[in-house]
Amino acid sequence: MQRPSFPFSLVLLGPSSSGFSRTRCLEQARADAGLARRSLLFAAALALAGCQGSSSTSSPAESAGAGAAAEQQLTTKLNIYVACLNHVNPAVRYSRERYLGWAARDKGPVLGSAGQGVIEVSRETTYGYECFKRDGGLASALQSAPKLVEIDAAGAAYQKAIDGVMEVTKKAAAYYEHGDYKDDQLAQGKALHKPLLDGFDGFDAASHQLSAALDKLQDELAVKDLATLEKTEGKKARWHQRSLMRAAGLMVRELGAADPMELAKVTPAITSFTSAFADLQAWTAGNQAEADKVVSWSSFIGYADDLATEIKELGRGFRDHHKAPESGAGSMEQIISKFNRLVDSSNGLWN
């Protein structure tokens, strides 16, 4: 069965090697809060789908079959939404950053830099395929079962917003690529400036709404999943893995949402992660033989330790400089990088 690729939380997306300053990357990370490499907890999705697909009059075999079918429907639906966030959002953000790199938001485009143009956001691309075509694409997700009122409403707003961005960037890209600004002294380019900004800003708002709705569902499922695992397996490897990842995701999401970051406000989330990591380490030390049966368990712990180290560096930044580091150890960029590696390691367990 395919595992849903629903995120634990925040990830730095976009062209990090495109020459943006570290401050810009930090702002981008915060703007992307809630996006990213997502991995919905499998047992939780199964539990939700099973509730929707079961009947008290069904036989055990029929209930299992209905639950598996409902689970697959939910997985496919969520994966489409997540694919759009993971693949389309970096393209939109890259187009916006490239445009605003030469056309100031408050002043608009200038003739001397117009040759840099606008990058079109299009369906006919690799990222477009992932969002609009794979498994029926976004249009299919909006109509398919199970109905998820808040997420589907956010998805519809997202679709409207991305359609607007594609339309205005296509028009602007053609104008600049054809050199038409040389004929009208940039008149149309100036007229397109506000529609471009409105499109980008509207997309950011819709993207945030969809991501928040997905995060809300993930949080609800994660709580149910941990309770179910505790009843069926006890607090063993799988429970500690998911407990840690839930705490890590909530922590990184909280850190990314804080601007400027205040240590007092993010401390509870940091404490929860630290506690979950300590519990995982204690379980591993007391159950080494069982832990060794899980492929790459030691690597998973190592990546968690790397993230914990970055969080310590964040604390040292507040202690020594009374603010979060803007670059280097303890910065959001480094925290997100370590978190992404932890997510990848977690997703590889039991595969």
Q: Contacts for 184-189 with beta carbons within 8 Å, 24 or more apart?
A: 185/111, 186/109, 186/110, 186/111, 186/114, 189/108, 189/109, 189/114
Report whether pLDDT(306) > 60.
yes
How many of the other CB atoms lie within 10 Å of CB of 43?
A: 19
Between 237-257 and 263-286, two packed helices, what is the crossing angle to 10 degrees? 160
For 108, list phi and psi in degrees, rounded to 5. Answer: 85, -175
Instruction: Give every CB contact of residue 209 below 8 A, 6+ residues apart in sequence.
Output: 154, 157, 158
Report whether pLDDT(6) > 60.
no
Between 237-257 and 332-348, two packed helices, what is the crossing angle to 10 degrees? 160
**Model confidence over 17-67: pLDDT tens digits?**
222 222 223 334 444 433 434 443 333 333 343 444 444 565 666 655 666
Average pLDDT value for residue range 132-141: 95
pLDDT reported for residue 71:
79
Report whether pLDDT(77) > 60.
yes
Average pLDDT value for residue range 196-220: 95
Question: Alpha helices of the chain — where are they, by DSSP H?
Answer: 22-31, 42-53, 60-83, 89-100, 126-132, 137-143, 149-177, 181-184, 187-232, 237-257, 263-286, 288-292, 297-321, 332-348
* CA separation for the pair 166, 84 (Å, rounded): 14
Report whether pLDDT(238) > 50.
yes
Q: Is 17 helix (H, G, I), strand (E, B) or coil?
A: coil
Contact 109, 189 (CB under 8 A): yes
Contact 13, 338 (CB under 8 A): no
Bridge partners (DSSP) of residue 108 are 104
pLDDT reported for residue 350:
80
- pLDDT confidence bin for 70, thresholds 50/70/90: confident
Average pLDDT value for residue range 319-337: 94
pLDDT reported for residue 256:
87
Q: For residue 55, what is the DSSP state? A: -
- pLDDT confidence bin for 336, thresholds 50/70/90: very high
* CA separation for the pair 296, 287 (Å, rounded): 15
The token duo for 172 is: 């602007």
Buried b / exposed e along 154-170 (16+ C-beta atoms within 10 A):
bbebbbebbebbbebbe
**Selection from 11, 48, 8 nearest residue 243 by Cα:** 8
pLDDT reported for residue 67:
65
Average pLDDT value for residue range 300-321: 97
Report whether pLDDT(99) > 80.
yes
Average pLDDT value for residue range 136-165: 96
* CA separation for the pair 322, 115 (Å, rounded): 43
Which domains, and CATH codes, for the chain?
Answer: 40-232 (no CATH), 234-351 (1.20.120)
**Selection from 314, 318, 317, 322 nearest residue 339 by Cα:** 314
